[in-house]
Structure 1
Amino acid sequence: MAEITKQQEDQPMRFTLTHYRKAGTAHDAFMKWIVEVHLPKAIPLFKKHGITGYALFETPATFNDPLREKMAFLHPTWEVADYDCLIEYTLPSAQTIENVMTDPEWIEAVQDQEDWVDTSKALLSLGYHTQYLSEGKAINLPQ
């Protein structure tokens, strides 16, 4: 396992999760369910468990289809991801993931998830987020 640097040790962790909508569900309806139905139930739990950030990166076909066409020409070996969204959580520790997922309130908050999400395709990652360009200014680079 790679050694954790002091800079990383002082940072909160980032947990990402991709979601694909259930077959037969429109992208817009899926995103509406996440934002208007799921998140109002989930955010109180995130706060309860010390999650300090939640970002939803939406990837509609209206963006990805043209990108896929361009990349076929510019970089044909690259694939454009086909998930509907990527969710990024900012966590105090890796243990937070298990704490949330085993909380009975979380089970209630995701009770209708199988109606909307193809959970068999979820992709997860856990790590650190380090910004190197912010508002046009280079940061966190070695001196």
Structure 2
Amino acid sequence: NIIIPITSRRIKMATQPLKYTVTHHRKQQHTHEAFITWIVEEHLPLAIPVFKKHGVLGYSLVIRHATVSQWRHETRTWKASTSWDFADFDCFLEYTIPDVQVVKNVMSDPDWQEAIKDQDDWVDMTKALVSLGHSTPYLLETGEVVNMPK
């Protein structure tokens, strides 16, 4: 009886889009605000056409909240979170992709090289962290609970 749900879950996950994320840290000579402005106003207008050309299904920029340092202090008082630490990045990029080949195609596109031409001036790539996985929602913004076992 247990094999059927596990098998169907594996099949579902294999057909789900992937979430590919990359953290970005600014180079220290730039302010956080200038860094985000560079991404949104200079990099993204060049990058988004490349994403669309190669089948990226979605893209989001998650920007570090301005009060992270205050939260760091406050979380020290939360009993359940004494071992937590806040990730120290300026933003992370979240791509929704049908498969990993899309990332390879984007990165090998000559137009991508143009889109990232100033990256070395702005991004400290030595600190970048990448993740790849499936995203399964359980609570929607509407308040609806989904994907829970019956």
TM normalised by structure 1 equals: 0.93
- Correspondence 1:38 to 2:43: yes
- Correspondence 1:103 to 2:109: yes
- Correspondence 1:14 to 2:19: yes
- Flag structure 2 segments of 5+ consecutive residues without an equivalent: 1-6
- The alpha carbon displacement at 1:76 in A equals 2.1
- Correspondence 1:139 to 2:146: yes
Secondary structure at the aligned position of 1:142 is classed as coil
Partner of 1:127: 133
- The alpha carbon displacement at 1:10 in A equals 2.1
- Superposition map of 1:47-66 within 5 A: 47-60=52-65, 62-66=66-70
- Correspondence 1:76 to 2:49: no
What letter corresponds to residue 136 of structure 1 in structure 2?
G
- The alpha carbon displacement at 1:24 in A equals 1.6
Structure 1 segments (4+ residues) deviating >6 Å = none
- Flag structure 1 segments of 5+ consecutive residues without an equivalent: none
- Correspondence 1:93 to 2:84: no
- The alpha carbon displacement at 1:9 in A equals 1.7
TM normalised by structure 2 equals: 0.89
- The alpha carbon displacement at 1:93 in A equals 0.4
Partner of 1:23: 28
Say what the alpha-carbon RMSD is for the aligned residues: 1.3
How far apart in 1 are the matches of 2:43 and 2:114? 10
Kindly, what percent of the aligned residue pairs are identical? 46
How far apart in 1 are the matches of 2:67 and 2:47? 28
